């Protein structure tokens, strides 16, 4: 299976309604309250999970509010109930929708093995694996609308205004970067070297474009770790759409000097300078305007690292070293975690707002410089942006 390519979908928060049919002799049955469900579910905890401080409350266990959890359940409800209704724990007790979603979130959020999650929650590890597969597939089917490129001019203007207000870059539509998801593949796998990256780790690469709120606007995952950022970008759907003029083709900004600043995203030195992708100036003998441009790009690009840190801290299955993963399923798991990342932002989750990830950093890989020739349209655009920044006061 090749890299995951995100398809465009109109954003729509899905809701569920419950219809209750009652007879004349008995009142309707009330669904279990979230607090009652959590009390029963937490009784499943065994081993190290039972002693973990993160298992004391729902919020610390799952790093989300019950409201966000309920919304996530509503997204996958129909498929999970229909196709997972026969799942039981080791004591023969049937699993509810809330149980099934909580089990999968424990797997994705803890990053622990199927065996560990099974033992900790009194389940067969095959059950954990099957539930994870069904949840991931369903979430991608029902929740992909949470990852979308801004489809209207007002939506894009909101993205651009936040970047300019916070860091000063005019008409900037996002920050692009990549991160590696580490793997440990069997030595007999002939493709092992194909996945070996520049740090001699076996990994799969995720490329993402983020807005100022750390939301993923576009994701492209599943690429072997040995591919460079330039190679990954040029094989992505985003690159293809930009080449066709379908992305970053919105309103231009005209400076007081009459220079045009078209829409663009920013990247680090591992990406090529293109007419829609601006990177920093290189060299030591830089002018004041070039140095200021580099400073603003560096500050702005930090959102990419922060987004990846938040993604991996919340969904630790992407943070550690995955042991012998299914290379065809892993891109789907990565995409599902990206959807969950955006759901937490879109739901304005209050639990997330209390968490601090600022002391963390993504994988500390050595910087690599792209050797591709600079696109001349990109050179002109970068000069126009640098000139604009040199004429405005420091934000």
**Contact assessment for residue 387 and residue 158, using Cβ atoms and an 8 Å cutoff:** no
pLDDT 10s digits, 189-242: 666 788 999 999 999 999 999 999 999 999 999 999 999 999 999 999 999 999
**Is the pLDDT at 275 greater than 50, yes or no?**
yes
- What was the pLDDT predicted at 17? 31
The tokens for 292 are 């200021």
**Is the pLDDT at 282 greater than 60, yes or no?**
yes
Contacts of 128 (CB under 8 A, 6+ apart): 103, 104, 107, 114, 117, 118, 121
**Contact assessment for residue 4 and residue 331, using Cβ atoms and an 8 Å cutoff:** yes
Mean pLDDT of the chain: 88
**Is the pLDDT at 7 greater than 60, yes or no?**
no
DSSP labels for 114-164? HHHHHHHHT--HHHHHHHHHHHHHHHHHHHGGGS----SHHHHHHHHHHHH
pTM > 0.85? yes
**Is the pLDDT at 25 greater than 50, yes or no?**
no
Map tokens 């001019």 to a residue: 153
Alpha-carbon distance of 125 to 9, in angstroms, equals 34
- Start-to-end CA distance of the chain, whole Å, equals 46
- What was the pLDDT predicted at 392? 82
pLDDT 10s digits, 348-392: 999 998 888 766 678 888 888 999 999 999 999 999 999 999 988
pLDDT 10s digits, 52-71: 776 668 998 999 999 999 99
Per-residue pLDDT band for 1 (boundaries 50, 70, 90) equals very low
- What was the pLDDT predicted at 47? 80
pLDDT 10s digits, 83-106: 888 999 999 999 999 999 999 999
Per-residue pLDDT band for 26 (boundaries 50, 70, 90) equals very low
- What was the pLDDT predicted at 185? 87
CA atoms within 13 A on the CB side of 240: 9
pLDDT 10s digits, 166-197: 889 999 999 999 999 999 988 766 667 889 99
- What was the pLDDT predicted at 34? 65
Average pLDDT of the residues in 300-316: 96
Percentage of the chain lying above the pLDDT 90 cut? 73
**Is the pLDDT at 11 greater than 60, yes or no?**
no
């Amino acid at each position: 299976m090749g890299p995951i390519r995100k398809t465009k979908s109109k954003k729509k928060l899905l809701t569920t309604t419950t219809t209750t049919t009652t007879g004349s002799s008995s009142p309707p049955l009330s669904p279990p309250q979230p607090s009652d469900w959590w009390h029963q579910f937490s009784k499943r905890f065994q081993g190290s999970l039972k002693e973990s401080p993160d298992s004391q409350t729902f919020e610390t266990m799952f790093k989300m509010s019950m409201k966000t959890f309920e919304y996530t359940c509503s997204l996958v409800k129909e498929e999970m109930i229909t196709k997972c209704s026969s799942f039981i724990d080791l004591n023969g007790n049937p699993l509810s929708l809330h149980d099934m979603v909580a089990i999968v979130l424990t797997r994705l959020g803890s990053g622990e093995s199927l065996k560990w999650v099974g033992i900790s929650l009194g389940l067969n590890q095959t059950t954990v694996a099957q539930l994870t597969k069904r949840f991931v597939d369903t979430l991608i089917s029902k929740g992909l609308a949470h990852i979308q490129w801004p489809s209207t001019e007002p939506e894009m203007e909101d993205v651009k205004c936040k970047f300019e207000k916070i860091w000063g870059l005019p008409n900037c539509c996002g920050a692009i970067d990549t991160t590696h998801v580490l793997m440990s593949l069997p030595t007999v796998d002939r493709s092992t070297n194909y996945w070996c990256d520049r740090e001699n780790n076996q990994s799969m690469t995720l490329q993402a474009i983020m807005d100022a709120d750390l939301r993923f606007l576009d994701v492209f995952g599943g690429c072997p770790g040995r591919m460079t950022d330039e190679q990954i970008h040029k094989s992505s759907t985003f690159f293809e759409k930009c080449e066709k003029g379908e992305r970053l083709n919105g309103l231009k900004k005209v400076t007081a000097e009459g220079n045009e600043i078209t829409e663009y995203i920013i990247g680090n030195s591992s990406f090529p300078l293109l007419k829609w992708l601006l990177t920093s100036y290189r060299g030591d003998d830089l002018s004041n305007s070039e140095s200021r441009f580099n400073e603003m790009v560096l500050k702005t690009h930090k959102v990419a690292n922060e987004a990846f840190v938040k993604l991996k801290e919340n969904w630790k299955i992407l943070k550690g070293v995955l042991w012998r993963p299914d290379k065809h399923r892993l891109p789907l798991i990565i995409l599902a975690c990206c959807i969950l990342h955006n759901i937490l932002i879109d739901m304005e989750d209050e639990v997330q707002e209390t968490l601090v990830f600022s002391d963390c950093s993504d994988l500390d890989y050595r910087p690599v410089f792209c050797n591709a020739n600079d696109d001349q349209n990109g050179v002109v655009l970068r000069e126009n942006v640098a000139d604009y920044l040199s004429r405005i006061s420091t934000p």
